[in-house]
Amino acid sequence: MPEINPTSTSIKKILPLILATAIFMQMLDSTILNTSLPSIAKDLQESPLNMQNAIISYVLTLAVFMPASGFLADRFGTKKIFIISLIFFSAGSLFCALSQNLTQLVISRVVQGVGGSLMTPVGKLALIKTFDKNELLKAMNFAVVPALIGPVLGPLVGGYMVDYFSWHWIFLINIPIGIIGIILGLKYMPNYKSDSVDFDLKGFLIFAAASLLLSISLELFADIQNITPVLLVFILGFLFLYYYYRHAKRGKNPIFPLSLFQVRTFRVGIIGNLATRLGISSIPLLLPLMIQIAYKQSAVTSGWMVAPMAITAMFGKSYVIKILNKYGYRKTLMVNTLVIGTLICCLAIPDIHTSLYWFIPIITVLGFFNSIQFTSMNTISIADLRNFQTSSGNSLLSVNQQLAIGFGIAFGLIILKVFENSSFINNEVHNAFRYTFLTVGILTIFSAFIFRRLHISDGKNLKSQE
């Protein structure tokens, strides 16, 4: 096959669609699973609140293997790794559909995670290397617009499949999408490589151990009766992070160079991503769970309730460039995060006798502001990275995002279980959900102040034509 010219007009048109296909698969998969957990739990004879292992095992696999994505892309080429990742993800989806118990489902989700750990970051890396900085915001924004169809279809398709067919089809739907991604990748994906690549195996293992220990500790925090061993695992995770810091300080070519954190926009973007997603990430799981468990509604109903968030997120993508060009990254991110936190707190207002329609305006507006938030955080993080920092910086940003999602899901479920076991809610599960939304919303509000560290002029090099 002839070598692809990454600067050609056709590649610049198709490449965002290729990245959108990868993100689409991940988002469709995760949102389908959220509304289908109670049905899967019933079939596998598990409690719905214990099914988070099926979600978090996938997220942890992403976090563990994503650090290697930059190296593998540089060593073997973005095209090869992207196609291999799609094959892994599609195969994992098939294994999920064939699972007979929770253990098999978790293992199959790990296979999916191996593919997903390379799929999106390698696609993003190809996009970053292809487009100039002043084209990147528009390209990245365009890449995410088609992918937002995933969350729209996910809850609805998942709900209907569970209610009228079987939950197995929520995984089988990934296979034709994966085939489309492979065909597009073979024809249009540029094959960027680096001649001098040295993999930091020791650093990779240390960082992977730290990510796993911290994530496992968050999982185990829900078991309040055994708090001592959980704290030990949590502390051990931070010790591994410190060990990695010492290793990166001495190493010649660490997998994540410490010089990345000397770039202020990258540093603020990483911290802001982690803190903000810690609050936001639990909502797509908690809301469908509340509608099904507390309100006793079907998976289809919970799917329709979540769908407006994704529809308005697509609508928000058409405004994000105008907003950033007018107000800048600093003001946009601070105000936007405050609005998101307030909206999450509003989910705690309705009691069990309030109509479900009360939630629709909140979810609708929340989707719009989430769209602005994610595009802004993703682009400002890579705004000032130099060419030699792109691979490692993009990998670390992807790891950080997935860890934040995993932490957010675990954090939301931990808070929910704490309130469920509290005496003042009078054994009313709906009140436990209300206090959880309030706690998560307040946390998100506080995370807005992280973006004060940005300068007014930050992100001007990303400014593009509307």
Q: Whole-angstrom distance between the N-terminal and C-terminal Cα of the chain?
A: 36
Q: What is residue 270's predicted lDDT score, i.e. its pLDDT? A: 92
Q: What is residue 110's predicted lDDT score, i.e. its pLDDT? A: 92
Q: What is residue 54's predicted lDDT score, i.e. its pLDDT? A: 81
Q: At 5, phi and psi to the nearest 5? A: -85, 110
Tokens of 403: 């860890």
292 exposed, middle or buried (CB, 10 Å; 0-12, 13-18, 19+)?
buried
Residues 142-176: b if buried by 16+ CB within 10 A, e if exposed:
bbbbbbbbbbbbbbbbbbbbbbeeebebbbbbbee
Q: Are 396 and 67 in contact (CB under 8 A)?
A: yes
SS3 of the chain: helix, strand, coil, percent, to 5 = 80, 0, 20
Side chain identity at residue 51, one-letter code: M
Handedness of CA 107, 66, 448, 317 (dihedral sign): negative
What is the spatial distance between Cα 170 and Cα 90, in angstroms, rounded to a whole number?
A: 12
DSSP H helices, 281-358, are: 283-293, 299-346
> Would you give per-residue pLDDT tens digits along the chain (466 residues)?
445 555 567 788 888 888 888 887 877 776 677 667 778 888 888 777 677 778 778 877 877 888 888 888 888 889 999 999 999 999 999 999 998 888 889 899 999 989 988 998 898 889 888 888 878 888 887 777 666 666 666 767 777 777 778 888 888 888 998 898 899 999 888 888 877 667 888 989 998 888 888 777 766 665 556 677 778 888 898 899 999 999 998 877 888 888 888 899 999 999 999 899 888 888 877 888 888 888 888 777 877 777 788 788 878 887 888 899 889 999 999 999 999 999 999 999 888 888 888 888 999 999 899 889 988 998 899 888 888 788 888 888 888 887 787 778 778 888 888 888 777 777 678 888 999 999 999 999 999 999 999 999 888 887 765 4
Number of helical H runs and strand E runs in the chain: 17, 0
296 exposed, middle or buried (CB, 10 Å; 0-12, 13-18, 19+)?
exposed
93: CB partners within 8 A, 6+ apart: 29, 112, 171, 172, 174, 175, 178
Q: What is residue 1's predicted lDDT score, i.e. its pLDDT? A: 44
